[in-house]
Amino acid sequence: MRTPEELTELFRSSGRKVTAQRQCIFRVLQGDETHPSAEAVHAVVSREMETISLKTVYQTLHDLAELGEIASLDVGTGMTRFDPNVTDLHHHLVCRQCGSVRDLVAVFPELRIPEGADLGFDVGSAEIVFRGLCPECRAPAGRGRARARSST
Amino acid sequence: MRTPEELTELFRSSGRKVTAQRQCIFRVLQGDETHPSAEAVHAVVSREMETISLKTVYQTLHDLAELGEIASLDVGTGMTRFDPNVTDLHHHLVCRQCGSVRDLVAVFPELRIPEGADLGFDVGSAEIVFRGLCPECRAPAGRGRARARSST
DNA sequence: TCCTTATCGCCAACGATTGTTGAAAAACAA
DNA sequence: TTGTTTTTCAACAATCGTTGGCGATAAGGA
Ligand SMILES: [Mn+2]
Ligand SMILES: [Mn+2]
Ligand SMILES: [Zn+2]
Ligand SMILES: [Zn+2]
């Protein structure tokens, strides 16, 4: 994803207006590597703009996705996740427990489909989801002072 | 997934009763490689048992999943897909167009995460989704007699 | 300025899935 | 066969994430 300034430019030149809400969303997405859901984006943006509606967030996320500035992902956590990183070819690590999603920046060129195993599909891309436990969820809960941890 | 006879056995020994509906579902799933959704299973089963409810289908699919006889998958098509093949290690080919899902039986041992790229995740499994066009959707629509194709 | 677009709030609707209830049917152990 | 337990069905309502209206208001931008 480009910088908020560049996005401002891009929105204008694509006939979209640049509002305070949108710029706030740009800023929030900027450098966010957590692959937030729309709700999560809304939660953060709301801290700065109390009255912004979830609707507006969805709309802006879709605009950004339409412009190719972010990607929307379905990694099986029940909500669409949004990814500002559209430049690095990468895959994803997904925590079975808390649903956190992180980038795994690595290319697997050896992902060749064995001859004849493709069942006639014209394959264009491959997405790998690595499932496991994130560092937070791995942490033994019972060591030292019990550390309260929210389930979200 | 085991044979309908073995599943009958398994259901009994796990305290479940064996009904005509359940057996019908066993039979329908048997050898089905299309990764049907609950709706799809219901549609097929309904041909044989007119009055079977979608509810019952969901319930039985969950029972089977609980027993490890089938797997439930989320490959981004909007509905949970059910997979009777739990013995072959495999990945999936998903058609971008019609959403059909097929097995890609191949092991990719080279799917090693580069040192330090795992961000501290304790990775347990990796699922690959190959996206592309299935043979049906690849087929040029205009050749010879136009072949009507439903969108489902 | 003036036209266009965005936003808000509110509420309804979506599709996939799960839950509820009560009555009827069936499974199966004794 | 009888009696107990489970399952099914029908008909709903409810859930969750998401999208869609609506009119009123606010704001962008040439
Ligand atoms: Mn990513
Ligand atoms: Mn499969
Ligand atoms: Zn976690
Ligand atoms: Zn297809």
Instruction: Quote the CA–CA distance of A73 and A104 in Å, as a whole number.
Output: 14
Extents of the domains making up chain B: 4-73, 88-150
Query: Given a cut of 60, is residue A151 above it in pLDDT?
Result: no
Tens-digit pLDDT profile for residues A67-90: 999 999 999 999 999 999 999 999
What pLDDT sits at residue A143? 54
For all residues of chain A together, what is the average pLDDT? 91
Beta bridge partners of B110: none
> Distance, angstroms, CA B15 to C1' C8?
55
Tens-digit pLDDT profile for residues A13-42: 999 999 999 999 999 999 999 999 999 999
What pLDDT sits at residue B152? 32
Query: Given a cut of 90, is residue B148 above it in pLDDT?
Result: no
The beta-strand segments (E) located in chain B are 71-73, 81-83, 91-95, 101-104, 122-133
Instruction: Quote the CA–CA distance of A24 and B93 in Å, as a whole number.
Output: 39
Who contacts B137 (Cβ-Cβ below 8 Å, separation ≥6)? Answer: B95, B96, B97, B98
Query: Given a cut of 60, is residue A98 above it in pLDDT?
Result: yes
Who contacts B102 (Cβ-Cβ below 8 Å, separation ≥6)? Answer: A119, A121, B33, B34, B35, B92, B93, B134
Output the pTM of the full model: 0.89
Q: Which pairing describes strands A91-95 and A71-73: parallel, antiparallel, or unpaired?
A: unpaired
Amino acid at the residue A118 = D
Q: What is the CATH number of domain A88-150?
A: 3.30.1490.190
Nucleic chain C contacts, Cβ below 7 Å = A 15-17, 19, 21-22, 49, 51-53, 55-56, 59-60; B 11-12, 17-20, 37-39, 54-55, 58, 62, 78-80
Region B87-108: mean pLDDT is 95
- Nucleotides on strand C with an atom closer than 7 A to protein CB? 4-11, 15-20, 26-29
Q: Are A84 and A30 in contact (CB under 8 A)?
A: yes
Torsion of Cα atoms, B80 then A72 then A85 then A96, to 10°: -30
Assigned token pair, A152: 């979200």
**DSSP structure class, residue A114:** P
B80-117 burial, b at 16+ Cβ within 10 Å, e below that, comes to bbbbbbeeeebbbbbbeebbbbbbbebebeebebeeee
Other residues' Cβ atoms within 10 Å of the Cβ of residue A124: 10
* The architecture CATH gives domain B4-73: Orthogonal Bundle (1.10)
Distance from CA of B18 to the nearest CA of A (A): 32
Instruction: Quote the CA–CA distance of B94 and B103 in Å, as a whole number.
Output: 9
Query: Given a cut of 70, is residue A122 above it in pLDDT?
Result: yes
Q: Are B93 and B104 in contact (CB under 8 A)?
A: yes
